[in-house]
A and B are shown apart, each in its own frame.
Chain A
């Protein structure tokens, strides 16, 4: 019996085990790091012969399942800050809408692809590089710092003073931080704009933003990020189904079966790893994707013509 399955909207058939494996691997990373995995899955599906538009839209649908599974698992562990998540979702939707108009304007000017590619490389490079260096330093100096903190008073940075000066301060109990809701709202808008430009859910940008700018603990960040991604991807799936007819349900179903199982294993491993170890692993993956993308920008392509729809 053939292990190939025909995908009616992708207009291609693909090996079931390959799809299941891809879904499982990316779902595992999703549960481990709290990222949707769109920045990994979409290129992998394109490599497997799925048209880029169908790959991106169907991936959003499978992320709905993976992030439902991941959010549920993290909620049981008490790792979801719903208050923070809802504010980020509102910001993300506003930013996403702004981003869609921005990319439309750039496409009219004819340089959207340049902006998308450069944004990808810069964002992945900056985030991956910063996370990697910071986590590495943190792992190295931990024993020294724990002695220091007992004798020296903590310095309040300019960033902290600015954050504390914002109006409507409120306590986010689950995250253990007090800040103005304007802060996650504005950051949500910023991530939403970038996510729309780059055509991804934005988890890999949202996670560092929560860690470094909202100062949330890593384990709450993962659960809250998945909660936010869930809503972003529900919106994208419905919009893509209505406007572009690019959500392949068969493709998404196989991917989501793999990814929901993978996500559960990811969540379990995330409990065993320390925050810095999680960050350094995510940073390494982000940097690998950045290098691959940079190479595709620098090396001459095999063909000077490409199907429309990909970056």
Chain B
């Protein structure tokens, strides 16, 4: 007991020291890149949100900022023609593709025609996306382009070449800023914001920070009920519908003169 009593303040001091060291480190990293807000809340009236990213890069350097969602396997249907009619003809599983991909650059060529070894943009994504199911070897490139088009139509993939604004900072550094539209379909989860600095066609440094998307309030409560108590949720939905139906019928009876 006595040992524990003696040790408690020491442990607290050690933890405080550790916290000061780590937060000082984090302060260094966040000074290179910051995202605002860093926690996006999906509430009852959420209709998408613009997040602002600010970063510091050396004078004369170029930059690319990416916001990436966690990768998860996704099942899609491929269309084909059977007997002269277009329909779903097979299932395609897409692996390794981020759930969200937004990228902006200081100059348009950095995103439109990135260098071969670039770790950003659609060419880099093409390296990490894999297809399984009814896709032939020769169809990969076509389906990759189709996949990006599909994701752009869903507003979860977008590139903004040349949209990062550069302002002269103090001394040998400059400040880049960019705004990124998070779509209404953004899913709750951890997202990563990455700033890549490019000098002389080579990556000179990368910095990252986290962006969190969370569901809050009524949507969170309702989703919890639906996923954890499906039967109760279904019965509740039916009861609400029947009561509303009767109430409307009754209201109209009063004014309708049937």
Contacts and interface: CB of A to CB of B under 8 A. Distances in A.
A65 B85 contact: no
B26 to A, nearest CB: 32
A64 B242 contact: yes
A239 to B, nearest CB: 8
Given A303-B149, A305-B78, A8 B258 contact: no
A299 B237 contact: no
A303 B249 contact: no
B234 interface: yes
A242 B249 contact: no
B223 A8 contact: yes
A13 B249 CA distance: 29
B244 interface: yes
Contact of A260 (B150, B220, B244): B244
A264 B252 contact: yes
A64 B238 contact: yes
Contacts of A303: 79, 146, 149-150, 153
B222 A69 contact: no
Interface stretch (A146-154, A202-210, A244-252, A284-292): A244-252
Given A2-B45, A6-B47, A249 B237 contact: yes
Contacts of B230: 241-243, 245
B235 to A, nearest CB: 6
B150 A305 contact: yes
A31 to B, nearest CB: 10
Contacts of B244: 65, 68-69, 253, 256-257, 260
A114 interface: yes
A242 B45 CA distance: 27
A113 B78 CA distance: 12
Question: Would you call the interface of chain B mostly helix, strand, loop, or mixed?
Answer: helix
Interface string B231-247: 10111111011101110
Interface residues of A, number: 64
Interface in B77-104: 77-80, 82, 84-92
A119 interface: no
A186 B133 CA distance: 41
B205 interface: no
Nearest to B230: A242
Question: Would you call the interface of chain A mostly helix, strand, loop, or mixed?
Answer: helix
**Range, interface on chain B:** 35 or more
Interface string A32-64: 000000000000000001000000000001101
A268 interface: yes
A306 B76 contact: yes
B46 interface: yes
B233 A6 contact: no
B87 A297 contact: yes
Interface in A66-86: 66-69, 72-73, 76-77
Nearest to B88: A113
A305 B152 CA distance: 13
Most buried by B among A72, A241, A296, A298: A241
Contacts of A298: 84-86
A307 interface: yes
B207 interface: no
Interface in A261-311: 261, 263-264, 268, 296-301, 303-308, 310-311
Nearest to A117: B87
- 4 closest pairs, A vs B, by CB? A68-B245, A241-B234, A260-B248, A4-B47
24 contacts: A5-B44, A6-B184, A9-B226, A61-B241, A64-B242, A65-B248, A68-B241, A69-B249, A113-B89, A114-B87, A238-B238, A247-B234, A249-B237, A250-B219, A256-B241, A260-B244, A261-B248, A298-B84, A298-B86, A304-B80, A305-B78, A305-B79, A306-B76, A310-B77
Given A253-B244, A306-B79, 4 more contacts: A114-B82, A240-B234, A264-B256, A303-B79
